[in-house]
Chains A and B, each alone.
Chain A
Amino acid sequence: GEDVEQSLFLSVREGDSSVINCTYTDSSSTYLYWYKQEPGAGLQLLTYIFSNMDMKQDQRLTVLLNKKDKHLSLRIADTQTGDSAIYFCAETDDSGNTPLVFGKGTRLSVIA
């Protein structure tokens, strides 16, 4: 079955860049997502990338996709204390037959 792996923790200093990594196993993954979850809250959709793209940039966020290695990363430029949260990688295919499969999340701590 599908599997999504993420490192559990990341700590960065305010103003530095953060890079959160994710690997997935399903070769039919077509859409790959990044969600942010703040304490006690639901999931906020940050961005997503279609598998025929290598990179997507949205303000401070850059998503890189290496389809050959099934590796996805989220780079946050100029990381702020408000970026402290858990970040989830998720994937689904384009068949319309599979729901989102999530990783366990990476807890990002930003040190002022």
Chain B
Amino acid sequence: DAGVTQSPTHLIKTRGQQVTLRCSPKSGHDTVSWYQQALGQGPQFIFQYYEEEERQRGNFPDRFSGHQFPNYSSELNVNALLLGDSALYLCASSPGLREQYFGPGTRLTVT
């Protein structure tokens, strides 16, 4: 059984550009959460998707948006990239809110 997968592994973008990150959840998991982990920090919650709807949202601007597809996979979109958006973006899947299993992350560098 494959765990949580994310693509791409690394990404370099320029300020002002837009980026899309992808996540496939663990088999049997219907809930996907996204976290941003800045260097030297713990992960910060961005938002969570369940049944193709955003169920919870953390303290992130509207430039951060997402989507969940019928197969439970998810995308994170970030518009108008800022230097401060450089971070490791982690996707976690779970059957509900407990026992979240994380993917390897996408390392985004904004120059």
Contacts and interface: CB of A to CB of B under 8 A. Distances in A.
Contacts, number: 55
B56 A99 contact: yes
What secondary structure prevails in chain A residues at the interface with B? strand
A104 B56 contact: no
Interface residues of A, number: 22
A90 to B, nearest CB: 8
A48 B4 CA distance: 19
Contact of A97 (B40, B56, B101): B56
Given A102-B42, A103-B42, A104-B42, A42 B102 contact: yes
Nearest to B103: A42
Interface of B: 4, 6, 33, 35, 40-45, 48, 56, 58, 90, 92, 96-105
